[in-house]
Every structure is written in C-alpha cells, then in structure tokens.
Structure 1
Amino acid sequence: MEPPALSEHAFLAVAVPALAGLLGLAVGSFLNVVAQRVPAGRSVARPPSACPRCAHPIRARHNVPVLGWLVLRGRCFDCEAPISARYPLVEAGTGLAFVLVAVRFGADPEGLRLLPAYLTFAAVAVALALIDLDVHRLPDAIVLPSYPALALLLAVGGDGRALSRAATGAVLLGLFFLVVWYVAPGGMGFGDVKLSGLVGAMTAYLTWGTFLVGAFLGFVLGAVAGVLLMAAGRAGRRTALPFGPFLVVGAWSAILGAGRLGDLYLTSLGR
C-alpha cells in the first residue's frame, strides 16, 4: 500500500522552516561581523574574519556556523585564545528566529510572498539589538537603508491596502516616538525614533492590532527591565538603557502571534 501523498501545505510547513533555519545560521554568522564592524565604521566585507589576538585569518572549515566553534572547543586554532560563546549563540539565535518567521509566513503561497521582507526585518532586528546592547547606538548605516529595502520587499509581495496601512503605521509610531524624545530628552535616543518607523510599518502591514501590541510591548518590556535593574541595584533613575532591543522584541512578539490580542481588542471596540 502506497503512503499518502504529502500535501503542498504540509510540504511547505516542513521544508520552508528547515531551509530558513539553515539560511538563518549563515546570516547569523554575518551579523556577528556586522555587529562588530559597523559601529566602528569598518567594512563588513574586508578584511576576512581573523583572530583578534594572533590576527590569523579564520579558516573556511572553522567558519561553519555553530559547528566550527564546537569543533574548535571555543578556542582559536592557531593561538588557542578563547572565542566568545556569543558567536555561536547569535548564529543559533538567528537560525531559530528565521525558523519562527518561516513558520509564521511560510505555510501557504500568500505568506511566502511576505517571507523575504520579514526575514530581512528579522536580520535587521538582530543586528540592531546587538549593536544597541554593545554601544547604545542604532547606526544609520543599517536603519536608513532598511526603509527602502523593506518597502520594496513588501511591495513585491503585498497589496495596496496593506502597504497604505504600513506607511500610516510608520508615520504614526515615528511621530509618537519623536514627541516622546522631544518632551523627555534623555529618555531615549534619536536612533530609537528612526527605528520606530520601521517597527510601525512592519507591524501595521499585518493588522492594526499587531501595530498596537508591538508598540505597547516595547514600552512595557523596557519599563519592566528598568525596574528590575533598579531593584537589583544595577541601574538608577537616570541610567540610560538601550531601548532598541525592547522595541524589536515587542514588535516581533506581536508579529509572531501576540498581535492577535490587539485584533481582539479592536474588534471588541467595534461591537
């Protein structure tokens, strides 16, 4: 008896996340380079990655995401200097993020058209979160080019009404953050204002509920983190915290499912 044929939906549900995960591992390896070099104004293409202690270029076989670090047991092949566990963690984390995005968008042909845009946004979010945690900056070199790149990707896979909603969401959240930045100087950096437009566009493209939850969660997560750090004695009222990571985590929580709560809320208001 022949096994039942695999439906197109079931095939996409398995194959797309698997391929996206492999892509995410490779992208995560590149994002490690981006997070180190972009804040310093260095090229992400040259020179090749090398050990910071002995300056020996990393061999291709040791540059395989996650596996290379495990094979080397976390040490340079040439001088045995320790290699931070952050490298494989970023690679694995980006791979997992890509899998989650693929599960969200890759199970049907309509979602597949949006997959490139949201995978790109995931990569941008990871890079910006890492840099903001390291140096408390959100570089224009990443944020500003993301606007036309993501707009183009959404336009290729989207419809006019959703694109209009995305543009409106970008303006609304950007203006809101601009007002907060102006009224409470020091509460956030201007890089957060520029990033907020991306978040507004990518969340509002899906639904207004996703937009509301994404914006709200960013502030809630930032406030909770601040309170916890103050309670632990590691921050004061005037301590500047990087807000970018909370903003992108809030956005992605909404995109991956929490936005449905916002949709339910807006639906209840309309009754």
Structure 2
Amino acid sequence: MALTGPSTTPSGAGPAPKSAPSEAVEPPTLGRSAGVLAALALTPLLRLAVLRHAVPPGAAPGAGCAACGTPVNLRHPWPALGPTARCARCRCRIGPPAATVELAVLAAGAVLLLLGTPAADLAAVAWWLGWAVPLCFVDVAVHRLPDRLTYPAAAGAWALLGLAALAGGGAGPWLRATLAGAGLALFFAATTLLLGRRGFGLGDAKLALGVGVLLGWYGWPVLVAGLLLALGLAALVSLGLLVAGRARWSSHLPFGPFLVLGTVGALLLAN
C-alpha cells in the first residue's frame, strides 16, 4: 500500500494555496425546466392520443366530439385539445376532464426535475413518461392499454438506455434492464393465463415491459420496490373504495395507473 506523506512548503515560501472543494456535477436545472415547458407544449398531442384510444376494444379510434360530431385534430387544437377540453361548436366535454392532462404533465416534469440521474438516463425516463401519461387516462376511461402506446414506450426506453450504456453506463445495467423488462412482462402475462380476469391483463404485461426496463436499469431492488409500491397503492385504493361503497369485491380496477405511480415512486427513491 502506498502512503502519501503530508505536503511541505519550502522555507520562506508561505503556505500553499488551498484547493477549491470539489463539487458534484449536476444536470443543469435550466435545461430541465426548458424540457418541462416543451412537454407542456405537447399536451394537445397527448390529449389527442387519449381521444383516439379511449374507445372499447375493436371500436374505431375516436375522431371528435361524441355529441355533435365535430372532428378534432391537431390543425384545430383549441379549445378541444386545450386545458378547457371543450368542443368548439357545442361546448361539450371532449376527452379527459379540463386541465387534468396538463397537471399530469406538470407532475411528470416535477419528477424529471427531482431525479438526479445523468442526462442520458433522464432521456429514457422522459420518453417513457410521455407515453405513460396518455396510457393512464385511457386505462381509467376504458380499462385497456393499447399496443400503439405500450410498445413505443418500452422500445424507446430500451433503446435510449442502450445509448446511455454506450455513453458510459456500461453493458451490465443495460443487460439487466433487458432481462428485467422481459421477466416482469412474462410474470404479468402468466397471471393472465393462470388466473384469467382475476389476474393482470395482457395490456398490463405490455406496460410492464417498459417498467421493467426502466427500473431494472437501476437494479433489482428498485424493480422489486416499484412492484411493491404499485401493489400497495392498488390495495389501499381498493380498500378505500370498498369502505366508501363505491366498489365491490368483484369490481375490476385498472392497474396501469398504479404501475406508473409505483414506477415513479421507485425511481425517486432510487435517486
């Protein structure tokens, strides 16, 4: 073992200058704030995604106001795709309630600001949250998680974490993330095959693919913590609804929002 002796100063040279204490390099808050503002600018697109996909399985995608038939698209986003969520012709509500998508995006932005992860890792989290927000609204509305939202969420997060691995994160965490995503998705799918309606849905399994990738990147304990948080939140809400008389033992709650919240909670705890 090499020993380093105390530093000495030649006679008459005076004390050696003190070096400035080293500080941890943190991602710039200004850049993250700009990212949050950019995400808010995308809320019309997120509202449109909910409108298109919040329909029963096999039904045609939503195209506009259910009351008067006025079409809704990105060429005329206001007010139907704005915070008021109202039809420009009949003023009926369109899609999620007013300001809810905007509040969800702000909450997702707050999560990104609180995470102390490198920029490469943060890009994967931001990508996944961008898909998770409309997924939650669709699942609450019609109890389904469309493939057109779950697959891009998982694939993009996996690819971005692969870039993070090349940028210095290492192959180990990325391989672990890949195994975690596949393993968690298979676990959810197995409950569907074995338990039927009493298990998780296949949509939950596809959402779990991206959840496992994200949480597995940070380690197996983070993955377990996210799953336990999701199950605990679902149990608490179910118990509250039972006590309030708003649900029965046979009621089926959408699990997607709880899985998203559990994932966010585990990411915050890990950082």
Residue 204 of structure 2 contacts residue 255 of structure 2 at CA under 8 Å; is this kept in 1? yes
Among 5, 11, 18, the alignment partner of 2:33 is 18
Taking the aligned partners of 2:92 and 2:190, their CA distance within structure 1 comes to 48
Residue 17 of structure 1 contacts residue 100 of structure 1 at CA under 8 Å; is this kept in 2? no
Unaligned runs of 5+ in 2: 1-22
Residue type matched to 2:153 in 1?
A: S
SS in structure 2 of the partner of residue 164 of structure 1: helix
Q: Taking CA–CA contacts closer than 8 Å with sequence separation of 6 or more, which of the two structures ends up with the larger relative contact order? A: 1
Q: Does 1:185 align with 2:178?
A: no
Q: Does 1:125 align with 2:137?
A: no
Query: When the two structures are superposed, what TM-score results if normalisation uses the length of structure 2?
Result: 0.75
**Per the alignment, do residues 50 and 8 of structure 1 end up closer, same or farther by CA in structure 2, a change over 3 Å counting?**
farther
After TM superposition, give the deviation of residue 221 of structure 1 in Å.
1.2
Among 228, 234, 238, the alignment partner of 1:216 is 228
Q: Does 1:37 align with 2:37?
A: no
Query: Percent identity among equivalent residues?
Result: 26
SS in structure 2 of the partner of residue 237 of structure 1: coil
Residue type matched to 1:122 in 2?
A: L
After TM superposition, give the deviation of residue 192 of structure 1 in Å.
1.0
Listed as ranges, the matches of 1:195-210 within 5 Å are: 195-210=207-222
Taking the aligned partners of 1:144 and 1:154, their CA distance within structure 2 comes to 15
Residue type matched to 1:242 in 2?
A: P
CA offsets per residue over residues 29-52 of structure 1, 9 Å max, x none?
A: 3111101102447679xx7x7796
After TM superposition, give the deviation of residue 202 of structure 1 in Å.
0.8
Residue 32 of structure 1 contacts residue 87 of structure 1 at CA under 8 Å; is this kept in 2? no
Residue type matched to 1:36 in 2?
A: L
Unaligned runs of 5+ in 1: 1-6, 261-271
The residue that corresponds to 2:10 in the other structure is: none
The residue that corresponds to 1:161 in the other structure is: 172
The residue that corresponds to 1:100 in the other structure is: 111
Residue 150 of structure 2 contacts residue 206 of structure 2 at CA under 8 Å; is this kept in 1? yes
Query: When the two structures are superposed, what TM-score results if normalisation uses the length of structure 1?
Result: 0.75
Residue type matched to 2:243 in 1?
A: A
Rg comparison, structure with higher value: 2
Q: When you count helix as a share of all residues, which structure comes out higher?
A: 1
Residue type matched to 2:256 in 1?
A: G
The residue that corresponds to 1:3 in the other structure is: none
The residue that corresponds to 2:70 in the other structure is: 55
